[in-house]
Amino acid sequence: MYAGDYSAVNPKYSHGNSKRLEKTEKPYYRISKSVLLTAKERKDEAPAKVYGDIMEAAGTNMKKQAVLVPRDLEQVRNAQRAAREVTKISKDAQYNAYEVGIETNFMRKFEVFPDVKYACTHFGMVEEFEKLLNREDIPAIIVECDTTFNIGNYFVTWVTFRHTEFYDLPDNPMPTVGLACMIHTKKLQSSHEYFWNMLKDEIPSLQTAKNVLICTDEEKSIVNAIQKICI
């Protein structure tokens, strides 16, 4: 809150959230220091887990939530990142990749020698995928694997699946959902084995599922890797 000569205020020099109506039209409450301290103390845990625990501890009283709950997940991530900066042992690219894995839980494995491989998966999508396995009341799950993107010195291989819980309608087709991806420098069979080994570790039931059809563009390295790891 500003107390003083309002005629001296020039709105042209406002910045950040002060330009957003949804922020300026309601009172601003500073988050309690204890909330940020909690996030910093749990700097190595998943941000979503920390955020959920703080929300639960605050209870349902909206007035308490205004100061005892982080504004959003990003505020938890920022507090955790600040805490890790204090004890950070390195600032190089490899360590930054390691930090991304901790912060997001998206990157599951990474290797930099003899070639770069980052294997990632989304836990929320893994849960959705596992709910569809071995179901007899829905169509078989089509899983697609393709080295889709070439981004400069790297390739990106995506594994997607058709979410068969939804109907496939002419004007509203069955959604295709991203399950996992790998960023890699070489299109080798060993690279794809590395990727599918990660998927096998994260989704053990994939190997025994009876209602999964894996489709590829017949790239030999991908086909051989899937046959070796999953079949």
Listing from the earlier edge strand, what are the strands of the sheet with 212-216? 107-111, 117-121, 176-184, 154-162, 141-151, 212-216
Q: Mark whether 209 and 116 lie in a shared domain.
A: yes
Q: Mark whether 224 and 123 lie in a shared domain.
A: yes
How far apart (Å, rounded) are the C-alpha atoms in residues 100 and 142? 30
Q: Mark whether 223 and 114 lie in a shared domain.
A: yes
How far apart (Å, rounded) are the C-alpha atoms in residues 184 and 112? 9
Q: Mark whether 132 and 80 lie in a shared domain.
A: no
pLDDT of residue 194: 94
b or e along 83-98 (b: 16 or more beta carbons within 10 Å of the residue's beta carbon)?
Answer: beeeeeeeeeeeeeee
Q: Mark whether 169 and 215 lie in a shared domain.
A: yes
Q: Mark whether 126 and 225 lie in a shared domain.
A: yes
- Domain edge (last residue) among 58, 86, 114: 86
In three-state secondary structure terms, 126 is helix
Predicted TM-score (pTM) of the model is 0.60
Digitized pLDDT (tens) for each residue of the chain, 231 residues in all? 556 666 666 666 555 556 666 666 667 778 889 999 999 999 888 888 999 999 898 888 888 888 898 988 899 999 998 888 777 666 666 677 777 777 777 888 888 888 889 899 988 899 999 999 999 888 899 999 987 677 778 899 999 999 988 887 878 788 899 999 999 999 899 999 999 999 999 999 888 889 999 999 888 999 999 998 876
Q: Mark whether 136 and 218 lie in a shared domain.
A: yes
pLDDT of residue 165: 86
Query: What residue numbers bound the domain in which 78 lies?
Result: 6-86
In a domain, 1, yes or no: no
b or e along 169-185 (b: 16 or more beta carbons within 10 Å of the residue's beta carbon)?
Answer: eeeeeeeeeebbbbbbe
In a domain, 91, yes or no: no
Residue 162 has phi, psi (to 5 degrees) of -80, 125
> Quick one: tokens of 12?
């042209």
Angle between helix 47-58 and helix 73-86 axes, rounded to 10 deg: 120
- Domain edge (last residue) among 86, 120, 137: 86
Q: Is 24 exposed, middle or buried (0-12, 13-18, 19+ CB in 10 A)?
A: exposed
> Quick one: tokens of 131?
């709910």
Q: Mark whether 110 and 224 lie in a shared domain.
A: yes
pLDDT of residue 71: 86
DSSP labels, 34-79: HHHHHHHHTTTS-HHHHHHHHHHHH-S-HHHHHHHS-SSHHHHHHH
Count structural domains, the chain. Answer: 2
In three-state secondary structure terms, 97 is helix
Q: Mark whether 131 and 43 lie in a shared domain.
A: no
pLDDT of residue 184: 92
